[in-house]
Chains A and B, each alone.
Chain A
C-alpha cells in the first residue's frame, strides 16, 4: 500500500503537496486535510533517522552525520539506496520503507539543520 503520510505531504508544502498531495491515490487521509497553516511545524517521521544519524542528523560517530549536508546529495543518495543502485549495509533496506516524497522531505529537513 502506497500512501503518502498526510502530515508529511502537508509539511513538504513546496514538494509533496505540489507533486501529489495526501490522498491522491484515492485513499482519504484519516481526517479531512488540515489547512497548511494549522499543520505541525516538524515532519515528525524524520526522527526515524535520528537513532542512528543523531538528533537532527548531528553526530560524530561512525554512522555519517546528515545535518547541514547538501539537500540534493541526501535525496539522490536515498533514492539510489532505494533503487538498489547504491550498495549499503542497511540503508538500501530502510530507504524502501519510505515514499520518494518522504525522502525528499527528510533531505530538505537535514539540509536545513545547522
Chain B
C-alpha cells in the first residue's frame, strides 16, 4: 500500500489550502500526526467520528475529477469509510453544485431555481475533502498526475473520473455556437435552465414549444417526458392554446411509457403531441426549424434540442473512452477503467450495465461502490462487488409524481450487475404521496452527496 507522501508539487498544496480554510488547518495537523506513526494516529481515531484534530495516517491518495452526483459522493464516502485515512482531492470547475434532478420543475414554474443550487463547503468542513475549484486538463497516467488549468498539478494513487456527459453537437447539423446562444438544451442545469424558463414565460399563448430527444442512451431516460409534462402543466394553467411537441428519435417512450401516456391523455390532451422515430439531425437556426433524418422540417417558437451525448470531454482526453467512441468501459467490481490502470470511472461517463440508467441516483451509487472498492484496496483486502439500486422519480404536474426503480446485483459469470429478477418496477399510478416523496428524495440525496 502506498505510504503517506507529501504532495510534492508546489501548486497543489497551496491551491488546495487556499480554497479551504478548515482543511488547511487539518492538513497541517495531519502531517504532524503522520509523524507520530500509524499506531498512535489510528488508535486515536478509532470509533471517533471526524474530530478535526485526530487525523489518522494516510493509507492512500485519491484525486477525483468532477463533483457531480458521482464524484462528490465518492469523495464523501472515501473519507467516511476510511475514517479519514484516505486523502481526497476533489477537482471541480463550477463553484456550486446545480442539481439536474428536479430542474424540470423550474421550467414548469413549480420550483425556485435557487433550491437547485448547493455549496461544496460541507464536504470540506464535515469530511475533510480538499476542494479545488479548477478545470482538470490532462492526466499523466505514468506519473499519476492530474494537471489543471489554474491550480497546478495533483498526484494520486487512484484517480476517479466523474465528468458526466458532453454533447456531440455535430449530431445536429447547424447547431453551432451561434445557434446555441438562443436554441437551448438546458440538459445541464444552470444558466440554460433559467434562460429556457424565460423563453417559455415570454412565449405568447398559442405559441409552440418543441423538444427533441436523442436515441438512448442519454442522461436521465424519463427526463424529457417529465419536461414535456411540466411544460404542458404550465401551458395548461397559463397558455392553454400553446402546444408541446415531443420529437423522439426512439421507437417509443423509453421510460414509464404507460404512466406518461396515461397522464398525457388524461391531463394534457390537445397540448402534448408525441412523435416517435423522429431523429433530429439538423437545425436551421434563422427560421427556428428543426430537420429530421428523413428530411421533415418543423418550425417552433421555442426549440429545445437534445443532441447525442457521450462521456465528458476530459474522459476522452485521458484515453478511457473505449466503447463506441462514446463511453468508458469499466470492471464492475472496482469500477476501474479497462483502458487505464488506477483510473476509475463513475456516473454518466461509464458504459452502463444492462437496464442501468444514466441518472443522478445511479451516479451516487457508483460513487459509493468505487469508494468501497478503493477503501478495500488501500486496506489490503480484496474488493467485493456491492449492490447498486436506482430510482428515477418524475413529477408530472405541480403535485404528483411517478417512479421507476431497480436493484442491480453483480453476476459473476457475466461480470456485470444485472437487475435482480422480481425486483423494482414502476408506480401503479401518479400520486400526490409520491410527489412528496420525490421532493424528500431530492433534499435527502443532495445531503447524501454534499453534506
Report A's interface with B, CB cutoff 8 A: 1, 3, 5-7, 27, 29-31, 34, 38-40, 42, 44-45, 47-48, 50-55, 59, 61-63, 89-90, 93-94, 96-98, 102
Closest to A64 in B: B440
A53 to B409, alpha carbons, bound, how many Å? 21
A59 to B436, alpha carbons, bound, how many Å? 14
| Chain B nearest CB, measured from A36 CB (Å) | 12
B182 at the interface (CB under 8 A from A): no
| Chain B nearest CB, measured from A53 CB (Å) | 7
A6 to B437, alpha carbons, bound, how many Å? 32
Closest to B402 in A: A89
| Chain B nearest CB, measured from A68 CB (Å) | 15
Interface of A is mostly: loop
Contact status of A97 and B387, CB under 8 A, knowing A42-B81, A54-B448: yes
Contact B441 A52 (CB under 8 A): yes
Contact status of A63 and B444, CB under 8 A, knowing A3-B409, A97-B420: yes
| Besides the known contacts A51-B448, A55-B451, 15 further A-B residue pairs in the complex with CB atoms under 8 A apart | A7-B386, A42-B372, A44-B368, A45-B387, A52-B391, A54-B444, A59-B440, A59-B444, A89-B434, A93-B424, A94-B389, A94-B407, A96-B422, A97-B406, A102-B387
A90 to B448, alpha carbons, bound, how many Å? 20
A51 to B359, alpha carbons, bound, how many Å? 13
| Chain A nearest CB, measured from B382 CB (Å) | 5
Contact A97 B391 (CB under 8 A): no
Contact status of A51 and B441, CB under 8 A, knowing A34-B381, A44-B81: yes
Can you give 19 A-B contacts (C-beta < 8 A)? A1-B409, A3-B412, A5-B387, A7-B384, A34-B381, A40-B381, A44-B368, A50-B368, A51-B364, A52-B444, A52-B445, A54-B444, A54-B448, A61-B443, A61-B444, A63-B441, A89-B431, A89-B433, A89-B434
A89 to B418, alpha carbons, bound, how many Å? 23
A73 to B396, alpha carbons, bound, how many Å? 34
Report B's interface with A, CB cutoff 8 A: 77, 81, 333, 361, 364-365, 368-369, 372, 375-376, 379-382, 384-389, 391, 403, 405-409, 411-412, 420-425, 427, 431, 433-434, 436-437, 439-441, 443-445, 447-448, 451
Contact A97 B423 (CB under 8 A): yes
A79 to B52, alpha carbons, bound, how many Å? 40
Which of B381, B411, B437 interacts with A63 by CB under 8 Å? B437
Q: Which residues of B lie under 8 Å from residue A47 when comparing CB positions?
A: 77, 365, 368, 372
Contact A89 B407 (CB under 8 A): no
Which of B385, B391, B412, B434 interacts with A51 by CB under 8 Å? B391
Closest to B403 in A: A90
Contact status of A94 and B384, CB under 8 A, knowing A51-B391, A62-B436, A63-B444: no
Contact B448 A62 (CB under 8 A): no
Q: Which residues of B lie under 8 Å from residue A51 when comparing CB positions?
A: 361, 364-365, 391, 441, 444-445, 448
Q: Which residues of A lie under 8 Å from residue B382 when comparing CB positions?
A: 30-31, 34
Q: Which residues of A lie under 8 Å from residue B364 when comparing CB positions?
A: 51
Identify the 3 closest CB pairs spanning chains A and B, nearest first: A97-B407, A97-B423, A61-B440
Q: Which residues of A lie under 8 Å from residue B408 when comparing CB positions?
A: 97
A27 to B413, alpha carbons, bound, how many Å? 11
Contact B424 A89 (CB under 8 A): no
Which of A27, A44, A97 interacts with B409 by CB under 8 Å? A97
